[in-house]
Amino acid sequence: MVKYGASQDGSPQMTEIARPVQSPCVRNCCLDDDLTCLGCFRSIEEIKEWGMVDDQRRLIILQNAGRRKDAYRKGPAP
């Protein structure tokens, strides 16, 4: 997607090009017992589908991974 702005003479001008959602992979792959990567916190299924899905699905995957990461950092419930 390209966003346009207006130049001083009023003609459209390209100002920004939106980039696809980038992979959260940190090249530190280690799967836990639930088959979740402890580097990026995506499930194995999410990792496998990453290259075939659109940005909307990728954002959902990133949200899921973020929740897993937060839960991992908090540790097990007392």
- On the question of pLDDT at 73 being above 50, the answer is yes
- On the question of pLDDT at 1 being above 90, the answer is no
Residue 2 binned pLDDT confidence (cut-offs 50, 70, 90): very low
Identify whether the C-beta of residue 36 lies closer than 8 Å to the C-beta of residue 61.
no
Round to whole Å and give the CA distance between 28 and 78. Answer: 29
pLDDT digits (tens, 9 = 90+) for 47-72: 999 999 999 999 999 999 999 999 99
3-state SS of 34-69? CCEECCCCCEHHHHHHHHHCCHHHHHHHHHHHHHHH
The pLDDT value recorded for residue 3 is 44
pLDDT digits (tens, 9 = 90+) for 12-41: 555 456 788 999 999 999 999 999 999 999
The pLDDT value recorded for residue 70 is 97
